[in-house]
Structure 1
Amino acid sequence: MRTVGLALVLASLMAGNAMAQPKWAIVVHGGAGVIARAHLTPEQEAAYRAAMTRVIQAGGEVLAGGGSALDAIETAIGLLEDDPLFNSGRGAVFTAEGRNELDASIMDGATLKAGAVAGVTRTRHPISLARAVMEKSPHVMLMGAGADTFSHETGLEQVEPAYFYTERRWRSLEQFLTQNNLPIPARPEGAAAPDAAAGLAHDEGKYGTVGVVALDQAGHVAAGTSTGGTTGKRWGRVGDSPIIGAGNYASDASCAVSATGTGEYFIRLTVAREVCALVEHRGLSLQAAADEVIQQKLTALGGDGGVIAVAPDGQMAWSYNTSGMYRARLADGEPLSVGIYKDEP
């Protein structure tokens, strides 16, 4: 009887654990950097929390309705690309030549298929273009004018370059160029539109990115990342965001990761793939893997930034070595969590 009783208890515990695993989960970041309580006004803080809440709830609705992780990511990042609070799409930083050159990538953990674009200038939603590269071309990465041509040919929404203009990013460029004794270019033609984020947007530093990782009800994970790059970038510089394995990676065998930070370091460490490798090959928990890469390896190399991650079993994690990171997570049966500062869970 004791054996039977023990078996029933174990079975009950196992059933409870199975029930505790969420059917779906999503984690969002809006960039890491110099983000401290003393730097944000109450109005700014409220604006960022509201934006992160709106974005993650939109992605969560896709997953709750049975949509794929890829669909949730495209939906959520598309909203971030439209929000001038963030360094992606409208609100992206400028190059030294006064252009907005946008990068994005997306990866499907079920198939290991991936798509990425770099230096695009006319596609409203670079994340949608990255997905089109993955699904409608034989390639993984397209760049520059060719990527914009492919975007037009596949029917994605096109905009004039001035669509991405925001006054605060232009002023950041002017300041950067002045400090570095570089010439200030003419403002982009048609850039007279008012800045929708004026007074609310916060400059997170030279770097900024947005990203989403998701687990869908079919048990598949995916990751997406989008950015405008770095203020004053020159010579066609490309960071980690469109580099599969560095700023983005997803595999159902381990996890999905999206990164944000100083891209050159993330490329050298293949940060996103390294987190997944620690989960897959060393059996680390998702949080332990993220912390080892960010708090130890990235920090030791002198890099700064962070990651968000989700695993097929519903684990969610984030880790960053900066003063703050705009972040949110949501899962089936679990409450919404939104954070900005280091002292928040």
Structure 2
Amino acid sequence: MSQAATPPVLVIHGGAGVIRREMTPVREKAIRAALTLALKSGYAELKAGKSSLDAVAAALVVLEDDPNFNAGKGSVFTHDGRNELDAAIMDGNTLSAGAVADVQRVKNPILLARAVMEKSSHVMLAGDGAEEFAKEIGMPLVDAAYFRTDERWQQLQKALKEDAAKKPHGDVETAKHFGTVGAVALDAQGHLAAGTSTGGMTDKRWGRIGDSPIIGAGTYANSGCAVSATGWGEFYIRTVAAHEICMKVTQVRVPIKRAAAEVINQEIPALGGNGGAIALDAEGHISIPFNTDGMYRGWIGGDGVPHVAIYGDEDDGTTELPVESGVSP
């Protein structure tokens, strides 16, 4: 469909969860700066006439490289003290998709996920095989120590102590750190794309893989809708959350704000899960529902001005963009 009258739009998230105003001003400033940089990096691709896939990848590389987020450099640790990274990307125009799971030496998993989509005949590669593929296509691997940050290591130590004491994790952020990063974009050609990257859950075991790299669960895009989710992955898998939102939009013709809210704030909590998502339709309307204390989020549209938010009492991501950018009333 023609999108000549609709400017490009980019929406990002850096995770939802226990995000309260107790964080230090220095940390808050750094997070807002990273979200802003990611928006500018992705939007520059769109303004240059590049694809929504290019925008999604550019934005997510910025967030993967920033240790404040649970993806790439700042990924959380597994029970065994490793960083196991997952990512996925999807082209809504062609329904092409690529994903990687349990990679431990790939600096930017979102780029490898895109390579799986564009340079292999598969959709998902995992573990050693995914890293072998990376080497075969000339993507350099990094030492596993690259991903280590002291903050994430201390989160694991706290969780391990609670495990040893056979106590439930008292700190939800330690037990299930929702720092996954994601992006959805609409380009000048009217094509949508979605991408998600994560380090998973602190103290996860047995090679656990969440919703982020599973097409339809944490990441999905078609010709009319793009979604990236963040939260308690098991529930997003069980509800096929990202696909469910897009089917409501494209098949049932439910407005995207309502469609996303029904899945994120009704269906998932009804099962005992929580989290958030970013959603974007082919008209440029956006939705950023979440049912946690806060969600790192940002958006940029026709005015070219990046907007970011963190806390639950800030703008919901649907009111600051001008009407001509396609934001629904």
Count matched residues: 307
Cross-structure match for 1:26: 10
Cross-structure match for 1:11: none
Which residue of the other structure, out of 294, 316, 320, is the alignment partner of 2:290? 320
User: Alpha carbons of 1:278 and 1:72: their partners in 2 closer, same or farther (altered >3 Å)?
Assistant: same
SS of the residue corresponding to residue 135 of structure 1 reads helix
Q: Cα deviation per residue 1:275-306 (whole Å; 9 max; x = unaligned)?
A: 00110121111111111111111111111100
Q: Is the 8 A contact 1:32 1:204 kept in 2?
A: no
What's the CA shift for 1:19?
Answer: 10
Q: Cα deviation per residue 1:112-139 (whole Å; 9 max; x = unaligned)?
A: 0100000001111100000011011110
The 5 Å alignment of 1:245-324 reads 245-252=216-223, 254-324=224-294
TM-score between the two structures when normalised by the length of structure 1: 0.86
Q: Is the 8 A contact 1:32 1:322 kept in 2?
A: yes
Which residue of the other structure, out of 90, 95, 104, is the alignment partner of 1:112? 95
TM-score between the two structures when normalised by the length of structure 2: 0.90
Cross-structure match for 1:76: 59
Question: Equivalent pairs: percent with the same residue?
Answer: 53
Distance in 2 (CA, whole Å) between partners of 1:55 and 1:65 is 16
Distance in 1 (CA, whole Å) between partners of 2:47 and 2:99 is 27
The 5 Å alignment of 1:211-250 reads 211-250=182-221
Q: Is the 8 A contact 1:22 1:331 kept in 2?
A: no
Distance in 2 (CA, whole Å) between partners of 1:81 and 1:181 is 31
SS of the residue corresponding to residue 154 of structure 2 reads helix
Which of structures 1 and 2 has the bigger CA Rg?
1
SS of the residue corresponding to residue 282 of structure 1 reads coil
What's the CA shift for 1:334?
Answer: 5.5
The 5 Å alignment of 1:1-345 reads 22-37=6-21, 39-181=22-164, 205-252=176-223, 254-333=224-303, 335-345=305-315
Cross-structure match for 2:168: none
Q: Is the 8 A contact 1:22 1:333 kept in 2?
A: no
Q: Is the 8 A contact 1:92 1:169 kept in 2?
A: yes
Deviation >3 Å, runs of 4+: 18-22, 202-205
Distance in 2 (CA, whole Å) between partners of 1:222 and 1:120 is 23
User: Alpha carbons of 1:136 and 1:97: their partners in 2 closer, same or farther (altered >3 Å)?
Assistant: same
User: Alpha carbons of 1:304 and 1:48: their partners in 2 closer, same or farther (altered >3 Å)?
Assistant: same
The residue identity in structure 1 corresponding to 2:260 is A
Distance in 1 (CA, whole Å) between partners of 2:72 and 2:208 is 17
Q: Cα deviation per residue 1:117-173 (whole Å; 9 max; x = unaligned)?
A: 000011111000000110111100000000010011111131011011111111111
